[in-house]
Amino acid sequence: MPTELTEPVTYYLDAGDDFIILNNLLEKNLKIRFEGYQCLSCGQDLPIFAQGMCKKCYFESPQVGEWVMKPELSQAHLGIEDRDLSYEQNVQLQPHIVYLAKTSDIKVGVTRKSQVPYRWIDQGADEALPILETPNRFLAGQAEVLIKQHITDKTGWQKMLKGVQSDKDIIQVREQIKKHLNDELLTYWLDDSQPVIITYPVIKHPEKVKSINLKKIPEFERKLTGIKGQYLIFDDGNVFNVRNHSGYIINLSF
């Protein structure tokens, strides 16, 4: 879902020729019906394997190389190709931000500078703080490897959707993290960055969370009561991860 950092966050749904402002659908019944697949890479009507792609594209497309999830494996700065060197250089050899994000706990993450603050919104962060800016993905990955020895790099999605939030001070965590970085990485340290506070269009956080999968439930209708991260939250505690259903063709009515 494309987003805009407003208060609260504005969520959009790509409807082909137009966009739907999902915030306007709060407290309305949404009916979602699975219609088919369209691989985000080849465009064919093939079952989605992962990340919006069919199985063949998932193992061949440069968009989902191992370095995407593990930035420390990036090699474009060495001129070494994984799947497509031109694509990898374009993505990897640009400024990257290493950040702390407060979801259910404080976690570390890496994103391209151009993806700030959208990456934080995607994760449902209530607060985010850039701590390093590196010239490429590899160096950001190296920093993340060191930092995640001391704090998590995972989002507790169920707690995040329930509105459970860490009481740790993100600035204090930043100062603790700084002690674990080497001199090379500290040259990219951001001393003056300030936390970004993010609010979401949630009327009520669910007490219990259950995820809807269109492979198991191809059609459902429920009242929308919130949007956080990449999740639609419904009044009965069911949630729908829009990002996990990339490549699915759906019929949406309300």
Mean pLDDT of 100-125: 95
The SS3 of residue 100 is: strand
What confidence tier does 220 reach under pLDDT thresholds 50, 70, 90? very high
Q: Specify whether the CB–CB gap between 143 and 134 falls below 8 A.
A: yes
Give yes or no for residue 57 having a pLDDT over 90.
yes
- Tell me how far CA of residue 92 lies from CA of 66, 88, 123, in angstroms: 13, 6, 21
Q: Please compute the mean of the pLDDT values over residues 114-128 and round it to a whole number.
A: 96
At 196-213, the pLDDT tens digits run: 999 999 998 999 999 999
Give the predicted TM-score (pTM) of the model.
0.92
H or E segment and range at residue 161: helix 157-162
Partner residues linked to 97 by β-bridges: 111, 133
pLDDT at 17 over 80: no
Cβ proximity of 77 and 135 under 8 Å:
no
How confident is the model over 229-239, as pLDDT tens digits?
Answer: 999 999 999 99
Asked whether the predicted pLDDT for residue 192 surpasses 80, the reply is: yes
**Nearest-angstrom CA–CA distance, 41 and 188:** 35
